[in-house]
Each structure stands twice: as C-alpha cells, then as structure tokens.
Structure 1
Amino acid sequence: MSEKKISWSEGVWLTEPPLCYEKEGALVAEALKGSDYWQTTMYGFQRDNGHSLVVPWSGGDAVEVSFHLTGFENLYDQAGLMLWSHSGQWIKAGVEINDSVPHVGAVVTAGYSDWSLSPVPEWEGKIITIRASRLRDAVIIRARAEQQPWRTIRVCRLHPEEDWQVGPYLCAPTNAGLQVAFTGWRWTKPDTDVHVQPLAEGSE
C-alpha cells in the first residue's frame, strides 16, 4: 500500500492527557506529572497511566508516528510509539531523557518490563519518526531523525494470539510541563527484511 494518514480523531486515549489540541495539522498534548508505563522489574512499581492515543492494528501495514523533539527537559520525559495489548503486554519505543541527554530506546513488557536505550544528543530539535512493522512472529522497530537512514532499535516477539492497538504516546514520570507536538501518524508499506531499509515515504 501507499502511505495513508491516520487522523487524530480516529484514536482513543487509554488515559486522556490534561491538555490536548490540534494546531496546524499537528496534535499537541501535555503529559500529566507521574504518567508512566512500567511493570515491576528493578523498580518494583507498576504503572500504566501514560497517555497513548491508539487504533486497532491488524499488522498488515507498518505504522509510523512523528514528533518534534523539543521541550524534553526532565528525567524520563518521553514520547514515541505505543504497541498496546493490555497492561501486562505492551511495547513502547521512542525518545526519552536520561541523565540530561535524549536517548532512543524501547521497553518490551510481557508481565515484566525491560529497557534498552542509546544516546542521541544530535537528534535534539529535529522531527523524530518511530516505526513498527510486523514480520512473521516478530515486530521490527526503527527510528530516525528527519530524513536520515532508519536505525533498527529493537526486534522482538509480538505475541500473535493477542489483539494489538498502536499510536503515539507521551509520559512525564518526574515533572509536569512536557508538551509534545506530534506531526504525523500513518500506515505505510511493511518491512520486507530486517536488513533492508523500509520504502516508507518519510517523515512529515
């Protein structure tokens, strides 16, 4: 398929943010202080009150979410793409602040959460796109800044017996005030192989 935009009005919030509005085609949302997604590992707590705007995902198409990486200032401020089945089964991928530096990474949760990340200070101020594409029993998660080449950040199992929803998400675990401008949400061509760059039409 060719690229197809998903309108913001198609999505349903898992937890509605305190502020949300459209501006010049973008969706601007503010995260509540203490909003987060995490299940038990290392920290011991369980949180699923982050803000995710989701639609059903059959897996036949890839999904992409784009946002401006500006205004991320506090520890764990984050935004990106959520793949959601239920509170004990989800995957989030995006950019978050860790030790005052933006990091791209993913958390995969199947009862317990794990965390992988890599610093990307050079992405500050750019439009970031996070992409997920199913391939057999796995999902390939990629990210890029503007029109740079895609960077593969995670390949993990996507449980085929579960129903999945996908869309943009944001969290502010430690401080209030994070506002994120999401600039795009779309279906596009799925990946053909983990070693082949996607043929998606690019970020907005």
Structure 2
Amino acid sequence: MFKDFQWHCPPLKWEITERGLTAETAYQSDFWRNTYYGFIRDNGHFFYKETEGDFTMQVTISGNFEALYDQLGLMIRLDANHWVKAGIEYTDGEAHLSSVFTNEFSDWSVVRYRHYNGELTIRLTRHEEAIRIQYLDEDKKWQMLRLGYLPKSKGCMAGIMCCSPERKGFNAVFKNFSIDKPIDRKLHSE
C-alpha cells in the first residue's frame, strides 16, 4: 500500500499496519503560502511517492478533531510553491470539507459537511494540469468538491498529509489508500 513512500517532515509518531497508516502531528505543522495570513509554512506531514502522468488517488480518513485547523487528507505537490491539499479541516467547531490550491499563493475553500460521521472517503484525480477533488457522500455517490489548476509537469509527489497548526498531537488515520489509473474525464452524469 505505501511501497516506495517517504516523508516530507515526518510526524511525531507514525505506524503502518494492514489497516492503513496512523500519524500523530507535531506542533504548528502546516502547509500555507502568504495569502491573508502573511506567512509561509511548509512543515506539514506529507507521506508521498513520486508519480508520473495522470492518476486517481483515494483514501478514507478520520481523526480526533479538537483544535482550529486540525486537518488531514490527500496532497499533490510539484514543489514548495505549487501544490494542492484536500480533505477534512476543523474550523468553527466542526469538520469541514476543505481544499487549498497553491500556485505561489494559497487559496482556501471550506464547506460545512453536516453528514460527517467520523470518516470521509476522498479522491483526487490528475488530468494533466487539472486536479479534480471529489468526496463520497452519505448516499455513497461521488460528489465534486472542486476543480483546480496546477502547472503541467511530467511527475509530481502524491500521497497523504496531516497538519495541526494550533497544537501537537492530532491523530490522523488513513485507510484504503490507493493510486491507480485516472477515472474518466466526464464531469457530469446524464
């Protein structure tokens, strides 16, 4: 499941079992560039492998959300200035669907997810420069969360990420992780 993976900023603790990967975050770990807050952080925990071409990456995530900005999910990274992360982020006292696209500057999109039951399955699909983010809803149907842009590149780093900008000790759980051929480019069902 995680063959040939490596850490960008290893967490305090982590373990791979047959069920998946668990990680405990370090204090003030995050990925962010400039926008609104005026700082750059590139010390989040990212477990990745080098990947070429188009692909779909999927995982089921859960965590002990307690502090503002506790987060976990999937990440595609070209370099420190170009990346996307998507998953669950804790804000305003609730778990939200969250995504950030960074092309020199980070943006941030959060959507309150009233049906969060402690787990979420999310996937990112790379189609050249287009990154599609989807989540599995309460009816087990894939829903579009976002479509965004990263520059074209032959390869990228792809994997799971977790951060806790306001504390240490966020426990992130990743199950059923996969990277495979990209799903169809069709965006809408008929």
**Aligned counterpart, 1:202:** none
Q: CA deviation at 1:124?
A: 3.3
Q: Does 1:31 align with 2:6?
A: no
Q: What is the rounded CA distance, in whole Å, between the counterparts of 1:121 and 1:10 in structure 2?
A: 36
CA distance in 2, matches of 1:32, 1:148: 33
Residues 85 and 162, structure 1, Cα contact 8 Å, conserved in 2: no
- TM-score norm. by structure 1 comes to 0.85
Aligned-pair distance for 1:145? 4.9
Within 5 Å, give how 1:49-64 maps onto structure 2: 49-64=43-58
Decide whether aligned partners of structure 1 residues 83 and 147 sit closer, same or farther in structure 2, where only a CA change above 3 A counts.
farther
Check whether the contact 2:53–2:154 (CA below 8 A) recurs between aligned residues. no
Provide the C-alpha distance between the structure 1 equivalents of 2:29 and 2:130, rounded to a whole number of angstroms. Answer: 28
Aligned twin of 1:4:
none
CA RMSD in angstroms comes to: 1.9
The correspondence for 2:136, drawn from 144, 162, 176, is 144
Structure 1 pair 195/136, CA: closer, same or farther in 2 (3 Å)?
Answer: farther
Where does residue 66 of structure 1 map in the other structure? 60
Q: What is the CA–CA distance in structure 1 between the aligned matches of 2:4 and 2:137, rounded to whole Å?
A: 26
Unaligned runs of 5+ in 2: none
Q: Deviations over 1:23-77 (max 9, x none)?
A: 4422110111100000000000000100000112223321112222x41111000
Change in Cα spacing, 1:162 to 1:115, as seen in structure 2 (3 Å) is: farther
Q: Does 1:195 align with 2:179?
A: no
> Measured at CA, do residues 26 and 161 of structure 1 come closer, stay the same or move farther in structure 2, by a change above 3 Å?
closer
What does residue range 44-123 of structure 1 map to in structure 2 within 5 Å? Answer: 44-68=38-62, 70-123=63-116
1:135 aligned to 127, 135, 144, which one? 127
Q: CA deviation at 1:162?
A: 6.0
Give the match's secondary structure for 1:121: coil
Q: Greater strand percent: which structure?
A: 2
Question: Any conservation in 2 of the 1:48–1:87 contact (CA below 8 Å)?
Answer: yes
Deviations 1:63-92 (A, max 9, x none): 112222x41111000000011111111000
Tell whether the 8 Å contact from 1:135 to 1:191 is kept in structure 2 after alignment: no
The answer to whether the 8 Å contact 1:108/1:115 transfers is yes
Distance 1:146 1:187, change over 3 A: farther
Q: Which runs of 5+ in 1 are unaligned?
A: 1-6, 198-204
Measured at CA, do residues 33 and 196 of structure 1 come closer, stay the same or move farther in structure 2, by a change above 3 Å? farther
Aligned length: 189
The residue type equivalent to 1:158 in the other structure is L
Q: Distance in 2 between matches of 1:115 and 1:162?
A: 26
User: Residues 163-187 of structure 1, C-alpha deviation per residue, up to 9 Å, x if partnerless?
Assistant: 3111010000001221111112112
Give the letter for the 2:64 counterpart. Answer: G
State percent identity of aligned pairs: 32
How far did 1:13 drift? 0.5
Change (3 A) 1:146 1:32: farther
Cα deviations by residue, 1:130-178 (Å, 9 ceiling, x for unpaired): 2111234311111125762112111112311363111010000001221
